[in-house]
Amino acid sequence: MNPVARRLIRKLVRTLDGERGLERLETMPFRDAGFGYDRFGLERESLWTAYVLFRALYRHYFRVQSTGLEHVPTTGRAILASNHSGLLPFDGGMIAIDLLERLDPPRSLRSIVDHFAFALPYVGLFMNRTGQVPGTADNFADLIEQEELVLVFPEGTKGIVKPYREKYHLRAFNVGFVELALEHRAPIVPVSVVGAEEQAPVLFGSKSLGRRLGMPIFPVTPTFPLLGPLGLLPYPSQYFITYGEPLHIYEHYPAQAARDPEVLRRIASSVQERVQALLEEGLARRAAHQAARNGAAP
């Protein structure tokens, strides 16, 4: 983005949110490695552009409600570990918007993303400029050492293609994030998202076609692939995001525990149990909210 475009973005933010709104965004930590980008390609003005555009989805389409933001560190390193669903990663996007919208001071969220996404035309550049990072252990470790907030989906792609009949039942968590949390003494903040399962309910899938496309399964929803790319548009399901208390696992295990597969699996399972409990809390909040809207007792 050239200097003129950056000035225009700042002017747009000032017009929409006033001078105080722009000043608030400027308090967001940013490590400029030169020419307005950090070492992974994040550009503040690109992130702010995405924030201004996607917060309409956040406020009016997904109508996001969140609780537990006091558990998200306002400074320093942390790993946010969340459930994952909905085919397209709107859940990660809404968490990122939530932290810019409601956390004070706002923080950018660095999501760990599969490599194939960065090979897509325009998509890869958009992800780089808004702070997403290819999912390698070195990148993950570097982000933690830079005191960033890092978002991971420990279910991996298994979460986004599971059948709708299994909604809100987590698949087994991968252990890589636990290993890095131990090695780099980073707290893990469990996160749950209720609503994304309903944005793209998976009816069934083809494992053989999925393998050809590099996916665990090729998903079929009521609208995809029947309507082609339009079928990927999410349904307007309301989101309920819950942030849990940070888990300081490094205080209870020595650093060498990061090399013990049994320990890693046990810790990952305990984090999974916590996220599952937060999902149950979120589902109860949604039920209460819907009952209140309908004028009935929860």
- What whole-number distance in Å separates Cα of residue 15 and Cα of residue 87? 34
Report the chain's mean pLDDT, rounded to a whole number.
Answer: 92
CATH of residue 223? 3.40.1130
Q: 291 pLDDT exceeds 60? A: yes
Tokens of 155: 């279910």
Tens-digit pLDDT profile for residues 217-275 = 788 899 988 888 888 899 999 999 999 999 999 999 988 999 999 999 999 999 999 99
- What whole-number distance in Å separates Cα of residue 155 and Cα of residue 174? 6
Residue 272 lies in a domain: yes
Run of H or E including 84? none
Please, which residues bridge with residue 204 across strands?
220
- The reported pLDDT for the residue numbered 135 is 83
**Chain Cα centroid distance, residue 262:** 27
Say what percent of the chain tops pLDDT 90: 74
Per-residue burial over 162-197, b if 16 or more Cβ lie within 10 Å, else e, is bebeebbebbebbbbbbbbbbbbebbbbbbbbbbbb
Tens-digit pLDDT profile for residues 51-69 = 999 999 999 999 999 999 9
Q: What is the pTM of this model?
A: 0.93
Is-contact 253 262, C-beta < 8 A? no
- The reported pLDDT for the residue numbered 8 is 95
Residue 31 lies in a domain: yes
What is the domain range of residue 278? 3-290
Residue 243 lies in a domain: yes
Residue 166 lies in a domain: yes
Domain tally, the chain:
1
Residue 22 lies in a domain: yes
- The reported pLDDT for the residue numbered 88 is 87
Residue 230 lies in a domain: yes
Residue 298 lies in a domain: no
- The reported pLDDT for the residue numbered 116 is 67
Alpha-helical segments (H) within 37-136: 44-56, 90-102, 123-129
